[in-house]
Homo-oligomer: A and B are copies of this chain.
Amino acid sequence: MNYRDSDRLELQDLRYFVEVASHENCSITDVAEQLGMAQSNLSSSIRNLEKKLSLRNNKRKLEVKLFNRNKRPLQLTEVGQEFLQEAISILSAIDRAFENTQQRSEGKIGQLNVALTSSVSNSILPDILRKFREQYPNVKLLWREMTTHNQLQALRSHQIDVGLLHLPKSAIDDKELGFTTVLEEPLVIVLPENHQLAITKQIPLKELQGEKFILPDRQLVPGLSQEILDLCKKVGFEPKVTQEAALMLTILGLVAGEMGIALLPANAKNLRRKGVVYRKIEEKATTVKIDMVWRRSDESAVVEQFRKVVREIR
């Protein structure tokens, strides 16, 4: 005996039945013509459906009559009418499942866990959010602020699917993760408003030698702090770091309180902190990057679409 058993109900049985039964006078001949098929086959399909429904596990035979066969054209029985309702609802469930599955495959339905650093909230987040919601209204986005370090961990442990962060060099070799630059911003010099250097619009980096530096936390924001240290090194000095802070708002507060100066991505200006001023760096190529990171092994269509949207914004 076969597992594939010709006695089993199939959707085609239901499709034919629904076509016939919902045709006002149930004429097999008419419906067969409409479907462009032979009357004989539609007839026997319906008969087969009745046979299949009549089969009982092992009890005595049961006759299920969907149509009254003493009428021309055939007439739906009460049982047939009930079955029609159920058949219709099953077929539409199939259609929904089909549609749903396709939409998921295209990344149009689903869920996405995204992590970001405070820099990102300050800059590119609103653009990403708006574009993505517009194109993928049925994808549920879950955002959470996380430090660079935690984002990388969370990616590997599948807690998040995408991260937006200042990528530290150490992560660049990671074979498991893919990344791309989303945004490249100039660094700006953040000074207390009464600071002596504040009189000029542009300041060469070298002039900052000897200043007290307030640095993004090296543990929690390694990418950004590393870039700042590297830049200073390139122009020939080692900055004197007196404070470290993870949150941009904290750094600005410390600068306003004249605890030192800071180098921050230009988006810091969006915060409009009282008591601080922003000045350009004279040198070119004094920029920091915000990168997007994901698992290379992730085949989720939602992630793919998200990446596409972010790529197009950049």
Q: Which residues of A are at the interface with B, using a C-beta cutoff of 8 A?
A: 2-4, 8-12, 15, 35-37, 53-54, 56, 62-65, 68, 77-79, 82-83, 86-87, 89-90, 93-94, 96-98, 100-102, 104-106, 110, 299-301
Contact = CB atoms under 8 A, between A and B. Distances in A.
Contacts of A89: 93
A189 to B, nearest CB: 47
A86 B97 contact: yes
Contact of A102 (B10, B62, B78, B87): B62
A9 B83 contact: no
B300 A3 contact: no
B9 A105 contact: no
Contact of A106 (B62, B68, B83): B62
B64 A101 contact: yes
Nearest to A3: B35
Given A104-B79, A299-B68, A94 B36 contact: no
* Assembly stoichiometry (copies): 2
A141 B4 CA distance: 41
Contacts of A8: 11-12, 15
A97 B83 contact: yes
A64 B102 contact: yes
Given A12-B10, A98-B9, A104 B90 contact: no
A64 B105 contact: yes
A187 B104 CA distance: 77
A201 B26 CA distance: 66
23 contacts: A2-B37, A3-B36, A3-B37, A10-B10, A10-B11, A10-B12, A53-B98, A53-B102, A53-B105, A54-B105, A56-B102, A62-B102, A63-B105, A77-B299, A78-B300, A79-B101, A79-B104, A82-B101, A86-B100, A86-B101, A90-B90, A90-B97, A93-B93
A82 B103 CA distance: 11
Quick one: which of A68, A77, A87, A101 has the most chain B CB within 10 A? A101
Closest 8 CB pairs of A and B: A86-B97, A64-B105, A3-B35, A79-B104, A83-B101, A10-B10, A10-B11, A79-B105
Contacts of A36: 3
A105 B3 contact: no
Contact of A82 (B9, B10, B65, B100): B100
Contacts of A96: 86
A254 B4 CA distance: 74
Contacts of A299: 65, 68, 77
Contacts of A64: 101-102, 105
A110 to B, nearest CB: 7
